[in-house]
Chain A
Amino acid sequence: MGQRQELIKGGSDSLLLCLLGQQSMYGYQIIKELERRSQGYFKFKEGTLYPALHRLEKAGLILGKWQLLTNGRPRRYYHITAKGRSKLAVERLQWQDFLKAMDLIFQPAGY
């Protein structure tokens, strides 16, 4: 479990950028979506999500905007920026290379 948390920590920025690259979302929605799409593998410590989102926003990779829903509740939606998309493209390539290399190592020799 601890090792999984470390993996999430290392790749949290990529995960968030990837999700927001597909759709603008608010914090709670991000947690639910991450959990659903990873079939429960990625479980963010909820409180740590917001510092990560604010860090990405300060870096200009995402942008938070308050929106009032029809039920009258305000929510802060996060949108990916052009800078965030470029960063995501680079990170996606790095992860693909990393996974390919891991695969090659994990495969039994001679295959």
Chain B
Amino acid sequence: MTTALSHYLEVIRDNLRIDLPEEGEVISELETHIEDRLQEMKEAGISEEEATKTCLGLLGSAKVIARQIYEAHSQGSWQQALLASMPHLLFGILFALNWWHHISWLSVVLILVIGTAIYGWWHGKPTWVFPWLGYSLIPVAVVGLLLPHLPKGWTLLTIPLYFALALWWLFCIVVQTTRRDWLFSSLMLLPMPIIIGWFLTVAPDGRLTETSLQRVYYFAPWIGLSFLTLALTIAAFIRLRQRWLRIALLIISGLLTLTMVAYYAGGRLSLSTFVGLILVMWGLFLIPPLLERWLRRGGGRLKRRRSYRPPVQMAN
């Protein structure tokens, strides 16, 4: 196949952003189509250069084809929508019913979250796994919150080590997710500014004390409400086909939920903190696409490329 046709298929692959097995099938199918067309034109006596040019003209824009195929594949079922919104629903219920302080309920939810995230991660990273993956980072955050309670010497030693390890871990997960689709990184990290917002509302000095736990009791219904809003957002995200609508939904919902946090925090969140959280939210939508671009430029070592052989059976 000529360089122009290989490049054409590469552009389609880069813009497909669908599950890897499906991506492989689409590319193989287009490849056989191109081969058939080229073969026919060569048999008609057309030069390879002319045949390639005509073939590309007949196929049309690579980006448009990729977008249309993405829209054909992107819409998840209602079951997938429910499964994807489940971690938000679980945390929403945990707070709305004020069960967050029952260690048994909290453990069940965390085990379920981590178990589901690991299962989904090793089973082809389907779309529904990314919200679970975001919540599976909670134990890492909890460890960070406990560090200031260590004896002073230990704190100085462990905090830099913790930050280095936690950031490296987060970076690895975000890179892996961005290889699948940068939008899933934003989807995964969407609750982060909202959780930070609530944390700063109940513990402005960054330390969990008895008083801050009392505040969680007070704010629990509103914390639950913000998680339930996220659950609805994720369900709608899974059901939408168009990519631009998905991006718009995440941005609008993220900003509205953050505003809701500031409103119900009743002045406990300063304007500068709120602006900082808005910037973090924007970062969630700006950094992953930039990271994706960087990964694409990074060559074979960082690109997600797999040779694919379709599951064939002999024709009768």
Contacts and interface: CB of A to CB of B under 8 A. Distances in A.
A, B assembled together:
yes
13 contacts: A28-B37, A45-B60, A47-B58, A47-B65, A54-B69, A54-B72, A55-B71, A67-B313, A68-B312, A68-B315, A74-B32, A74-B310, A77-B315
Contacts of B37: 28, 46
A26 B155 CA distance: 65
A67 B312 contact: yes
Contact of B315 (A47, A55, A69): A69
B313 A66 contact: yes
A58 interface: yes
Contacts of A68: 312-315
Interface string B278-316: 000000000000000000000000000000001111110
Interface in B59-77: 59-62, 64-65, 68-69, 71-73, 75
A28 B29 CA distance: 10
B59 A46 contact: yes
Given A51-B71, A66-B311, 18 more contacts: A27-B29, A27-B33, A46-B59, A47-B60, A48-B65, A50-B29, A50-B69, A51-B65, A51-B68, A54-B69, A55-B72, A58-B72, A66-B312, A68-B315, A73-B35, A74-B312, A76-B28, A76-B310
In this complex, the interface size class of chain B, counting residues with CB under 8 Å from chain A, is 20 to 34
A67 B60 contact: no
B315 A70 contact: yes
Nearest to B309: A74
Taking chain A's interface residues, is the majority helix, strand, or loop, or is none over half, making it mixed? mixed
Interface in A9-66: 26-28, 45-48, 50-51, 54-55, 58, 64-66
Interface of B: 25-26, 28-30, 32-33, 35-37, 58-62, 64-65, 68-69, 71-73, 75, 310-315
Considering the complex of A and B, which 4 residue pairs feature the smallest CB-CB distances, nearest first? A51-B68, A47-B60, A54-B72, A47-B59
A85 interface: no
A64 to B, nearest CB: 8
Nearest to B32: A75
Contacts of A69: 315
A47 B58 CA distance: 7
A55 to B, nearest CB: 4
Contacts of B312: 66-68, 74
Interface centre among A26, A66, A77 (most CB of B within 10 A): A66
A47 B32 contact: no
A67 B315 contact: yes
A101 to B, nearest CB: 31
A64 B28 CA distance: 13
